Structure 1
Amino acid sequence: MTAGAAERASVRERAEEVLRRLAGEHAKLREDQWRAIEALTVDRRRVLCVQRTGWGKSAVYFVATALLRADGSTGPTVIVSPLLALMRNQVDAAARAGIRARTINSANLDEWSEIEQEIRSGTVDVLLISPERLNNPDFRDNVLPGLAHSTGLLVVDEAHCVSDWGHDFRPDYRRLRTFLSGLPGRTPVLATTATANARVTADVADQLGDDALVLRGSLDRDSLRLAVLRLSDPAHRLAWLADHLERLPGSGIIYTLTVAGATETTEFLRSRGFPVASYTGQVEDAERRVAEQDLLDNKIKALVATSALGMGFDKPDLGFVVHLGAPNSPIAYYQQVGRAGRAVEHAEVVLLPGPEDAAIWRYFASLAFPPEDQVRSVLAQLTAERPLSTQALEPLVDLRRNRLELMLKVLDVDGAVRRIRGGWLSTGEPWTYDTARLRRVAEARTAEQQTMIEYAVTATCRMEFLRRCLDDPDAAPCGRCDNCAEPLFDAEVSAGSLAAAEAFLGRPGVEVAPKKLWPPGMSAIGISLKGKISPVEQIEPGRAVGRLSDLGWGARLRTVVGPESSDAPVPAQLAAAVVEVLKAWARGADAWQQRPVGVVAVGSRRHPQLVHSLAEHIATVGRLPLLGALSPAGGGEETFRGNSAQRVRALHDAFTVSPDLAAAIEAHPGPLLLIDDLVDSGWTMTLAGRSLRRSGATAILPLALATSS
């Protein structure tokens, strides 16, 4: 039966009341907000909202939840949400509307049983879950069926993640198709996103069903003033921040492309007296929570963050977003800058791109879905009877853990494997490697990168440019950006800040932690190494000039030891930096206990001149004998792919100490410097050092030009 006008008017009045509890006494529903709420609560339809950040998408599902729960006829709203920060903000927002929200995620394991009981008893109004939870075996088999049957409203937040055309595709989101198919008829569904172009919008709407209502609004953000400043190198970019951070309004976010970049930027700005905090995927959850709250409370000027701080972080008065390095997609960029200016008249958005951005994009692109031969090798290891955990699979295939897990999730969605308690099983279903689709997605990603380069140099309106990337039909010049109006900032930096930044970034030296445990599961591939590495075979903590991802040394190191670098003698600047690293190592608080007595090189097939010249230079400067080189038989050296188990498999008995080298070690008892160009997985140094220790070296001190992480 179709609801009449009087009933709809009554529902809208009650919706406005809930909104005022949620957002304040003067809040009023936007017309499309009401259209979405009406479709969900009165017509029980499926709705896709593509609306700008700050538009009020969360208000739609909280108001709809309150209305649906008011008569007691529906179960809880289930919100599939991608990030813990988003969940925490939504739980707090729900409480303001009188809605009891709970969340099941990796940070509250001890509460799961209690929450599941509350769901069954009907006392939970909103349950927030991560997409990964949908395929947790216990949750999928024991909780999800009943939850799907009782769900009053399903919300898919950040719905662009459902589409592999979206800038942040996540295979776990694809499992929502199964959840959707299990919902009772006329269960309303809301999908929301601020970053979907026409192709992604059509894809998501198609997954919702033919009758989905699509509400797409203008993506203009009239509080944002966009600008791009092209500075010559990382030191100038850090110096610009030091000179201008105080001028940026309120508190904000400084995005970097890498964890190392975030760490370095935080340390530098703190050295210049700014209260800032780092926020990356390598920061502990408790520390991230404190950092989030400090930003919300304006106790710090900025969070220096990777994309780990992205979707859903809600600080309405965020005054600025600065990017040190460009994201690889204008759509991702629009999403990140959209964190700012939600409840302030003006917010500043500044992009500081660098020539190294493209190299970082290429690295992350290399971690995409593996080639077919690697996928088939994984499928060949799985059976339909005996599950294998990811950890058990790792020694059997040449894929690193994160990439293996991502691949298994995609295969699960495709129906080729199934996750159960204890690991993964083969379903036996035929599976085809979709080369054409993967090529199209890769081509789309490359096109997005090129578009981001064009954004940085365009002379047209920047906001219009971004809106057109999102297929906003109303895109028009904003009148505010640095191309439409007088630029607010210039590229000038002070001599003092530049000198400080150059000195900071020019400091060579990072520690290389030694391996202490053998990879698990080595016995499955016939290698009897397990548990702790024996102390008499271990190497010591080592040093490198820097990381390939460093702001300061990264670009210089990538040209010398990166995947596309040519072989040549060590450059003078790097040779001098190595000497500085050695000096600091000898004098530091964690200095070696005894001065090295000799130098041994790791024989390199990729960079023989580089490694040999480096070893010769160190021996000459340190007045130490160059005892020789240690090369792996068969040629396994550090690569830019492969997991630890496979590296140990290739190298565990590959290093043979020649009689001449053994005699030299015997003639020079004491610690040896072991020289290589790059530490990637760390196993070359570990196993080469192990061979030297077994030949009588009392300690091995690893020294490399670079480390990959």
Structure 2
Amino acid sequence: MFRNSNNSSNLETQGLALLQQMTGSSVAQFHADQWEAINELVANQNQLLVVQRTGWGKSAVYFIATKLRRMQGHGPSIIISPLLSLIRNQIDSAAKLGLNVVSYNSSMDQHEKARSERQILSQNVDAIIIAPEQLGDTKFGQEILPRIVGNIGLFVVDEAHCISDWGHDFRPDYGRIVRAIQFMPRNMPVLATTATANNRVVTDIRNQLGDRLKVFRGSLMRSSLNLQTIHVHSKSERLAWLVENLPQLLGSGIIYCKTTKDANIVAEFLQTQNINAHAYHSDIDGDNKPRLEQALQQNQIKALVATSALGMGFDKPDLAFVIHFQAPGNIVEYYQQVGRAGRGIDNAIGILMVGEDDARIQQYFIKNAFPKEKQIDSFLDLLANHNGIKLAELEKHMNCSRGKLTHTIKFLTSEFPSPIMKDGPLYYRTASDYSLPHDKIERLNDLKEDEWQRLLAYFDGSLNRCLMQILGSELDDNDIQACGKCEYCKPTAKLTESVQQESINKASDFLRNRYIELKPRKLFGASNDVVRSAFPIYNLPRQNPNLMCDTGWTLSTWRDGGWGDMVAQGKFNDVFSDDLIAPMVKMLNSLPCEQRPTWITYVPSLRHPTLVKNFAHKLAFAMSIPCRDVISVAELRPEQKKMENSYHQSKNLDGAFNLDTTQIYSNPVWLLDDAADSGWTFTVIGALLRRAGVQRVVPIALTSTKNNQ
């Protein structure tokens, strides 16, 4: 259909035909700078940074450039993409041009990876989409990339703001990209794209990628968006506002939450009020994510209640609204998320709420953005004292969660030169001296705090100007104009902030009757040999159904806007309010039990000897059943909440408790604790009670502090 040609007009004709093929429209035309960017890559083999608003068509640039480069006989493109949802969308887009695109990522099984590897090495692909971590000590980075590096036709970095630690979404893995480019042919065209880069980020990207980098920058303003702020702060009021206003909004959209727990809460409440909404976050099964995305794409549901897991790359041109139930960390992140709405329609709504706990949540994210120095020093000392060590063995030696360990590893492997290396499953200490970059961390933490305060200024109206102009100013846009739609430009179009008390009461009742299931642990130790020795004192077998607890329940989740707030206050005051007795009785009376417990015992504490004990006796009195002081603490151990992985959680409990067998009934028992997290305390004490002859043990707690609730 096309002929290779150096003639620029013929090349543009070819490119336009490909655009029309990709869009399925015979009248499609390039946006401003689209063809110019393609031509710079294809004809001039330049390095480009394209900063354009979401929906502008950045993927069209690199897929059409890929097609033209392939037609000229060049090798495949490598496309760096940060999210799996983005990868799926890109493969679908590329197929419209007849491009054979393969992905290589950590979610694939070995068979899928082997198939992709065969296609890549046989030069039977047009583009390879990978996540940035694949450029590190993976099979792709160590074995596949070196065999194709001399034949790459185009190198693409999508969401390039992640390169810069000045950006709102800096990702350490993106540091690998700059180092990888340094080992590639100098005349290889490079395209970096983003919709969220201010001047500071652009300068940083240019410094990292080199002086050859050209910048194509367009206006980031979104004329379709009607931006509003809604000032209802309590969780029950915000839930009530959603219920009253979502049915009035046309189309479907996204409701953003900061935490997995809150995404679940919002989605569940909306469902109880006959609003078709579903949670979407990192804990959702991988097979269900595409199904949920498709349901939203096809307007089969009203909303996805999502964390940032649904962000970059999700493209629905007719998305009618984006509502932030909780605030993002800064204005640029807000722009990136709210910009999902109104790409292909004239009118869409973007609403920002700020909740009571948002500042606390933001401080948590800032505080935990970087590994702690003590943790890094312990990690490096451990590697230095071992001639190679596995991740599971690291957990035995370090009281650190798997998530924090992988975070530390990712951070250190992204430093240059890195103080660690991986060979197969083993980690080693390198000869490189290393110290934590304190100045950099302090600078970035200060930046994040400043950005949070500027978001609050946007929300409270103290900036006294068009909301879209505020977003443009944060992004250093050169074409800032009043939008004419937002609550500042057109106050009469703002949605009401008033909420009916009846709706608030429904939300409050929901929050106070949302019982959380506690699933029993089936193993006394993890599935690897490292943890099998965690109970030498109690001599618990690795698996014995006769020693397991029953399914248990908690009254609340920590600071959930319902009873969880009262529990948190009680923990702080070292005494639980009597107002928690009636709801606990209500919960226990509603629970399904094969054999209903006839007595109560509790988990004691030497640090807080009366906290749970007094509540347990009051609860037993209210239920007209006995409470027995069966369990005692054998010796003071570190607080269980400070144990961060299964090995240390279980080891810390081995031998920690004694039972007074003269106080024990054989009938089923309620086993009370104030808070449930890993479940190990219930598991161990439950096993001791069962071994002492108790027929059933049903764990109950006032709250769950588990992160994924």
Calculate the TM-score normalised by the size of structure 2: 0.92
The residue number in structure 1 matching 2:597 is 595
Query: Aligned to 1:31, what secondary structure does the other structure show?
Result: coil
Q: 1:463 aligns with which of 450, 465, 468?
A: 468
In the alignment, does 2:572 pair up with 1:570? no
Q: CA deviation at 1:71?
A: 1.4
- Matched-pair contact (CA < 8 Å) for 1:101–1:125: yes
For the pair 1:450 / 2:450, whether they are aligned, the reply is no
Report the equivalent of 1:642.
644
Say whether 1:314 aligns with 2:320: no
**1:375-419 C-alpha deviation (Å, 9 max, x unpaired):** 111112225984323222112112111111011011112211112
- The answer to whether the 8 Å contact 2:226/2:486 transfers is yes
Distance 2:508 2:118 in 1: 58
SS of aligned partner of 2:265: helix
Correspondence for 2:554:
544
Distance (Å, rounded) in 1 between the aligned partners of 2:375 and 2:211: 37
* Residue of structure 1 in register with 2:424 after alignment: 421
**Secondary structure at 1:626 match in 2:** coil
Task: Confirm or deny: 8 A CA contact 2:224 2:346 kept in the other structure.
Answer: yes
Q: Which residue of 2 aligns with 1:670?
A: 667
CA distance in 2, matches of 1:514, 1:371: 33
2:635 aligned residue: 633
Distance 1:598 1:559, change over 3 A: closer
**Residues 538-565 of structure 1 deviation map (CA, whole Å, 9 limit, x = unaligned):** 333222111126354444444334xxxx
Q: Which secondary structure state, in structure 2, belongs to the residue aligned with residue 676 of structure 1?
A: strand
Which stretches in structure 1 are left out of the alignment for 5+ residues? none
Q: How many Å separate the matches in 2 of 1:504 and 1:526?
A: 40
Task: Tell whether 2:155 aligns with 1:154.
Answer: yes
Aligned pair 1:292/2:298, yes or no?
A: no
**Residue 430 of structure 1: CA displacement?**
1.3
> 1:395 touches 1:525 (CA, 8 Å); kept in 2?
no
d(CA) in 2 for partners of 1:389, 1:331: 39
1:117 aligns with 2:118: yes
* 2:702 aligned with 1:705: yes
2:509 is aligned with 1:503 = yes
Q: Does the residue aligned with 2:574 lie in a helix, a strand or coil? A: coil
1:656 corresponds to 2:662: no
Write the distance in 2 (CA, Å) between the matches of 1:282 and 1:438. 29
1:611 alignment partner in structure 2? 612
Q: Distance in 2 between matches of 1:143 and 1:304?
A: 38
Partner of 1:480: 485
> Secondary structure of the residue that 1:546 maps to in structure 2?
coil
Retained in 1: the 8 A contact 2:392–2:530? no
* CA shift digits 1:456-486 (9 cap, x unpaired): 1024221122222223243343221112112
Question: 2:74 aligned with 1:77, yes or no?
Answer: no
Pair 1:680-2:681 in alignment:
no
Distance of aligned partners of 1:301 and 1:670 in 2 relative to their CA distance in 1, 3 Å threshold:
same
**1:514 paired residue among 507, 511, 520:** 520
Q: How many residues align?
A: 690
Question: Counterpart of 1:484 in 2: which secondary structure?
Answer: coil
Tell me which residue corresponds to 1:580.
586
AA partner of residue 510 (structure 1): I
Residues 250 and 191 (structure 1), Cα distance of their counterparts in 2 relative to 1, 3 Å cut: same
The residue type equivalent to 1:464 in the other structure is: Q
Superposed displacement of residue 433, structure 1: 1.3
SS of the aligned residue for 1:85 comes to helix
By how many angstroms is 1:47 displaced?
A: 1.1
Q: Distance in 2 between matches of 1:160 and 1:535?
A: 51
Q: What SS class does the counterpart of residue 33 from structure 2 fall into?
A: helix
Distance 2:273 2:358 in 1: 25
| 8 Å CA contact 1:76, 1:152 repeated in 2 | yes
Specify the alignment match of 2:18 in structure 1: 18
Match of 1:87 in 2: 87
- What amino acid sits opposite 2:704 in the alignment? T
Evaluate the alpha carbon distance shift between residue 600 and residue 117 of structure 1 in structure 2; reply closer, same or farther with a 3 A threshold: closer
- Is the 1:630–1:688 contact (alpha carbons within 8 Å) kept by the matching residues of 2? no
Contact 1:678–1:704 at 8 Å: present in 2 too? yes
Q: Distance in 1 between matches of 2:409 and 2:179?
A: 17
Q: CA deviation at 1:656?
A: 2.9
Asked if the contact 2:54–2:339 (Cα under 8 Å) also holds between the matched residues in 1, the reply is yes
Q: Which moved more, 1:76-85 or 1:191-200?
A: 191-200
| Residue among 560, 566, 578 paired with 2:570 | 560
Distance 1:551 1:641, change over 3 A: farther
Distance change (3 Å), C-alpha of 1:690 and 1:490: same
SS at match of 2:573: coil
For 2:278, the equivalent position in structure 1 comes to 277
Q: Tell me, what secondary structure is at the counterpart of 2:328?
A: coil
Q: Does structure 1 residue 53 correspond to structure 2 residue 54?
A: yes
In the alignment, is the contact (CA less than 8 A) between 1:81 and 1:87 conserved in 2? yes
Aligned 1:339-350 pairs, distance under 5 A: 339-350=340-351
Distance 1:309 1:526, change over 3 A: closer
Q: Distance in 1 between matches of 2:386 and 2:117?
A: 30
Could you tell me the percent identity over the aligned residues? 37
How far residue 134 of structure 1 moved from its aligned partner, in angstroms, is 2.3
Aligned equivalents of 2:239, 2:672: Cα separation in 1: 32
Q: Give the Cα separation in 2 of the matches to 1:636 and 1:624.
A: 33
Bigger mean CA offset, 339-348 vs 256-265: 256-265
In structure 2, what residue type is equivalent to 1:546? S
Which runs of 5 or more residues in structure 2 are unaligned? none
* In structure 2, C-alpha distance between the alignment counterparts of 1:236 and 1:70, rounded to whole Å: 58
Alignment partners' CA distance in 2, 1:664 and 1:295: 57
Q: Is the 8 A contact 1:655 1:687 kept in 2?
A: no
* CA deviation string 1:160-179 (max 9, x = no partner): 22223322222222111232
CA contact (8 A) 1:310 1:336 kept: yes
**Which secondary structure state, in structure 2, belongs to the residue aligned with residue 48 of structure 1?**
strand
Once the two structures are superposed, residues 636-684 of structure 1 have per-residue CA deviations (whole angstroms, 9 ceiling, x without a partner) of: 2332662222222322222233xxx33212xx23333322221222223
Structure 1 letter corresponding to 2:307: T
Q: CA RMSD in A?
A: 2.4
Look up the SS of the partner of 1:374 in the other structure: helix
- What whole-Å deviation, never above 9, does each CA across 1:304-328 have from its counterpart, x for those lacking one? 2111111100111111111111112
**Counterpart contact for 2:238–2:325, Cα < 8 Å:** yes
CA contact (8 A) 1:600 1:674 kept: yes
The verdict on how the C-alpha distance between 1:488 and 1:567 changes in structure 2, with shifts beyond 3 A counting, is: closer
Q: How does 1:128-147 map to 2 (within 5 A)?
A: 128-135=129-136, 137-147=138-148
Following the alignment from structure 1 to structure 2, what is the Cα–Cα distance between the partners of residues 89 and 533?
Answer: 44
Whole-angstrom distance in 2 between the partners of 1:127 and 1:627: 64
Query: Greater CA deviation, 254-263 or 87-96?
Result: 254-263
C-alpha separation between the residues in 1 aligned to 2:541 and 2:177? 40
Distance 1:42 1:346 in 2: 38
Contact kept? 1:133, 1:139, Cα under 8 Å: yes
Alignment partner of 2:617: what SS? helix
- Write the distance in 1 (CA, Å) between the matches of 2:668 and 2:452: 48
Q: Who is 1:489 aligned against? A: 495
Q: Is the 8 A contact 1:391 1:521 kept in 2?
A: no
| Matched residue SS, 1:192 | strand
